[in-house]
Structure 1
Amino acid sequence: MVHFVGAGPGAEDLITIRGKELLEKADVIIYAGSLVNPGLLKYAKEGCEIHDSAKLTLGEVVEIASGACEQGKDVVRLHTGDPSIYGAIREQMDAFDELHISYDVTPGVSSFCGAAAALNLEYTLPTVSQSVIITRMDGRTAVPEKESLEALSEHESTMVFFLSAGDTKRLSERLIAAGRRPGTPCAIVYKATWPDEKKFRCTLETLPEVAAENGIEKTALIIVGDVVEPSEYEKSKLYDPGFTTGYRKGTDS
């Protein structure tokens, strides 16, 4: 059987208990070496066969996994963050379906959550932003036209950009041209939760300069929106003494 496991954002202790236990039992581990913290491999048992998928094609990943499954071995496919976000797992699942290989998924802590923790940031503040758009800028891989950053920016919701740190100048210019204020608060978080994590607050206008000054070109998330530096916001109704919930009666009732 193949177990897709989310490795978490980087820190070794941010993998889930279930994910760690699957690593400890695995006969074969195929991990995303370009992004997954190699320190997680210390959980592998003696004799475990380990492959770095950064050096492999889809066909080679499937061949290794299917060959192991035919021998009755357990395989862990270790992805960075949570496998459901830019994990390219659907194509692997489809291949395993064709081969009648069973699989399951263990979720992980996404790097966008790790970035928020690094910044002590809440993405959803009442009266500021109640939605988070997780997206990426088009590059060698296109995005659907209706999901261009210009189209998405019209909502003025909190935006979290994956896979876009390589061209912050174009990202900044396009968002400003689409109507986002040059002074819109931003943050860039490099390798969230890793020992060498870096984090910087800036504005949409100064984003390219901050990224360049600190040599950030990849492995970073970019957060755009007023939640990065909220001037004011409405407190949650959940803890308002006047607000009645299913667990307590409010003073305004």
Structure 2
Amino acid sequence: MSFPISFVGAGPGAPDLLTLRAAERLKQADLLVWTDSLVCPGILDLAPENCERVRTSTLTLEKVVPHLINGHQQGKRVVRLHDGDTALYSAINEQICALNDADLPVEVIPGISAYQAAAATLNRELTIPGLVQTIVLSRAGGRTGIPETEELDRLASLRSSLCLYLSARHVQDVQQTLLNSYPPDTPVAIAHRVSWPDEWISIVPLHAMAQTSLERNLIRTTLYIVSPALVQGEQRSKLYSPEHDHLFRPKS
């Protein structure tokens, strides 16, 4: 029997934040190719003891893909384990393209993203009626760069709930750009190693975003959530309002 190569999102870090499907694939794995620089090691405990494990932090695409192909050709259950959610900054696209060229079956299993886990830790909702209804997920340009239409100043002009990944090394430039659109007292959640044993999350005003990051020497595995929704108020949605009728609660 031939099994598809499973690209699995490990979630932000805590093993109990894996999806049930992701946990099941890990328990069945014969070959685990994992992003060791970003995935919480405790997640690997779900894999069988005799499962072959390949770390990818020092490998290029040209060395990763052959492990996946060879494992599949040997009839193994192959799991390619990525941090966070497979849909965000996971670099699965080029791997899947290579496997498609080799005519090999692939499945993708999503994971919880850090912005979701961070908001949950803070007991916050990022879409508040009358305040903010849009969430933007992006990053600072850095060495990778971003399309001109997605430059940070354009995204900031929306004044939405802005979640910035991979941006801690550029936090001073990021803060300066954000201050052109957001008020300086806009709350920013700085979330480092979300749901890991050494997790650190704090809400600071935008004008202190860079200073706080530098004081704590945050250069990686850090997420910024810039949002007026982080100030808890009593804004109420229409969903449960007695004045609002809908399909399941028509006017009496």
Q: State the TM-score, normalizing by the size of structure 2.
A: 0.95
Cα deviation code 1:66-109 (max 9, x no counterpart): 01111111110111111111101111110000011110011111
Q: 2:22 aligns with which of 19, 22, 25?
A: 19
User: Is residue 128–residue 233 contact of structure 1 (8 Å, CA) maintained in 2?
Assistant: no
Structure 2: state its 5+ residue gaps. Answer: none
- In structure 1, the partner of 2:146 is 143
- For residue 141 of structure 1, what is the amino acid of its counterpart? T
Cα deviation code 1:5-63 (max 9, x no counterpart): 11111111111111111111111001111111111111111321101111211111101
Alpha-carbon distance between aligned partners in 1 of 2:62 and 2:6, rounded to the nearest angstrom: 17
- Work out whether 1:170 is the aligned partner of 2:167: no
- In structure 2, the partner of 1:109 is 112
- For residue 47 of structure 2, what is the amino acid of its counterpart? A
Query: Identity of counterpart residues, as a percentage?
Result: 39
- In structure 2, the partner of 1:4 is 7
Cα deviation code 1:117-147 (max 9, x no counterpart): 1211111001111000000000010000100
What is the Cα-based RMSD across aligned positions, in Å?
A: 1.3
Alpha-carbon distance between aligned partners in 1 of 2:236 and 2:71, rounded to the nearest angstrom: 53
- For residue 204 of structure 1, what is the amino acid of its counterpart? L
- For residue 85 of structure 1, what is the amino acid of its counterpart? L
User: Is residue 32–residue 81 contact of structure 2 (8 Å, CA) maintained in 1?
Assistant: yes
- In structure 1, the partner of 2:33 is 30
User: Is residue 127–residue 233 contact of structure 1 (8 Å, CA) maintained in 2?
Assistant: no
User: Is residue 8–residue 82 contact of structure 1 (8 Å, CA) maintained in 2?
Assistant: yes
Greater shift after overlay, 147-156 or 241-250? 241-250
- In structure 2, the partner of 1:161 is 164
The correspondence of residues 90-129 of structure 1 with structure 2, limited to 5 A, is 90-129=93-132
Aligned length: 249
Q: Secondary structure at the match of 2:207?
A: coil
Moved over 6 A (4+): none
Q: Secondary structure at the match of 2:8?
A: strand
- Work out whether 1:247 is the aligned partner of 2:248: yes
**How far 1:220 moved relative to its partner?**
1.0
- In structure 2, the partner of 1:199 is 201
User: Is residue 81–residue 108 contact of structure 1 (8 Å, CA) maintained in 2?
Assistant: yes
- In structure 1, the partner of 2:48 is 45
**How far 1:3 moved relative to its partner?**
0.2
- In structure 2, the partner of 1:186 is 188
- In structure 1, the partner of 2:214 is 212
User: Is residue 164–residue 221 contact of structure 1 (8 Å, CA) maintained in 2?
Assistant: yes
- Work out whether 1:65 is the aligned partner of 2:59: no
